[in-house]
Amino acid sequence: MNMEIKARDLIAAGWHEGRRLGPALRRARDLESTGLARADVLTALEAEFPKQLAVTLPRYEPAPLAEAIEAETREEATNVAAARQRMTELLHVPVVKRGVIMPDACPSGGGRATIPVGGGIEVENAIIPGAHSADICCSMFATFFPANHPVGEMMDHLQKTTHFGAGGRPRGYQMTSAVLEEPVWDNPFLSGLRSRAQDFLGTQGDGNHFAYVGRIQFTEAQRAAIEAAGYTELSEWIMRRDGAFNVLVTHHGSRGLGADLYKRGQKAARLWCDENAKDIPDSAAWLPGDSPEGRDYWDALQYISRWTRQNHAVLHDALLRRLGQRALVQIGNEHNFVWKRGDSFFHGKGATPAWQDAQGRPLLGLIPLNMAREILLVLGSNNNDYLSFCPHGAGRNLSRTAMLAPYKDAEGELDPARVQETLAACTAGLDIRWFGGAPDLSESPLGYKDATKVKAQIDRFGLANVVGEIQPQGCIMAGEAPEPHWVRARREKRASHKAARREGEAETIDS
């Protein structure tokens, strides 16, 4: 009778002595308990735990980094330096082949090797959950429809159909879609999440997510470029409608459903790297693309992509029903996601694909700049020098906190009157609404980079070709929810105590 299989038996058979040996040994004993002979156990084990000579280590020199961005001011230079530092850390990870920074690169938060907004990487046979972030599949979606509705009417209906803020839709106001009925819930990364998919369908969240109503007037040259690129349906509608459309554009991701998938993917990636690699930061932990976990995670990501597109579509359909209209053309693109091209996985965090689709057409995408500026309709340039990405928007030079600092008083509070005055000046003539009630100045045009500079850099670096501009008419964003009375009371009490202390200190000095 064979003795229980030992670690030394696996080492003698060719497995490496390291962190991956423990899981392999546990699996070997499970197989052995079924009555398999020792030789058969080792054969079966190798299919699940391939023999490797050593754990994977970070590379000494970083992979190449391309920068499609130029800094003209001190703030811009500081921002680019921070993004470059985080990208360089990420490029030491052995599965990362090269990286890029887009014109919309933003201040880098998080820890070592955290991909910045505006960052893209090419990865060999691996998926890095941290490189698409928790807001999986954050994306743009546009519906073109006849330009014969007043702005106020469209905005009133949109206010009633959309949903911003934390959490999902309340019972009785939930939306439905065939995407909820797809047979995906036995995937280990999606198991038990169907109710989350239902709850969050038709929601937009907060932060920089928005619902934007605009108008576009195509020129004949733009129509010809769209036709030449292979988008005949849009070209035909441009001719039929004399080039004029109203357009609803929404920006949001996969909400709580995607956040849950990200947590599961990150946990699995961390476990795999703990067993198979060394000195890999959490934000760069990966799953091999050809492993069982990697294939399941990839399948789950594809479902999240379909769900998110429907998350946009149900809101667009709801508005069109209220207006008595139908969609003439709909387009969309992701910018927080993973795409497989050949043998590589391309990861974007705030980076929009600008390569060719399966039909050989340059991808048609949307690049917003800010609520008071045009949304660019672009054809990707497929510029391999910059991983064939283009930016996802204008990006920021300052964090939200730093941007708001000049607008706060000595107590650290925003002056509502000044906020309203500032917003009125930078969004004049537009119907701007805040779903939560109070405006969020950090999401105003003042919070973002100079849109004209970003447009110029898209052209300068050959990232995409503009074939239309959707001009703003109105925009809804989450804004700040009303402050609960108990929070206000606590804040006022603290302010009163601070004032009393200052008065006491002043009296002590005077005496």
Q: How many CB atoms lie within 10 A of CB 215?
A: 14
Count Cα atoms within 13 angstroms, Cβ side, for 365.
Answer: 28
Q: Is 209 annotated as a binding residue?
A: yes
3 state DSSP class of 409? coil
Chain-centroid distance, C-alpha 222: 29
Q: Is 369 annotated as a binding residue?
A: yes
Please tell me which residue in 157, 312, 392, 485 is annotated as part of the active site. Answer: 392
User: Which amino acid is it at 447?
Assistant: G
**Has 392 been annotated as catalytic?**
yes
Angle between helices 255-276 and 292-323 (to 10 degrees): 170
Enter the tokens of residue 60. Answer: 């000494």
Q: How many CB atoms lie within 10 A of CB 180?
A: 16
Enter the tokens of residue 435. Answer: 């779903």
Q: Is 394 annotated as a binding residue?
A: yes
Q: Using alpha carbons only, what angle is made at residue 480 by residues 476 and 486, rounded to the nearest 5 degrees?
A: 150
DSSP annotation string for 456-497: HHHHHTT-EEEEEEEEEEEEEE--BPPPPHHHHHHHHHHHHH
Comparing CA positions, the residue from 411, 392, 393, 414 lying closest to residue 403 is 414
Q: Is 472 annotated as a binding residue?
A: no
The pairing of strands 464-477 and 431-434 is parallel
Q: Is 484 annotated as a binding residue?
A: no
What string of H, E and C letters represents the secondary structure of 320-358? Answer: HHHHCCCCCEEEEEECEEEEEECCEEEEEECEEECCECC
Q: Is 370 annotated as a binding residue?
A: yes
Count Cα atoms within 13 angstroms, Cβ side, for 356.
Answer: 10
Q: Is 335 annotated as a binding residue?
A: no
Q: Is 368 annotated as a binding residue?
A: yes
> Would you please indicate which residues are annotated as catalytic (active-site) residues?
392
Known binding-site residues for Mn(2+) equal 209, 251
- Known binding-site residues for GMP equal 368-371, 392-395
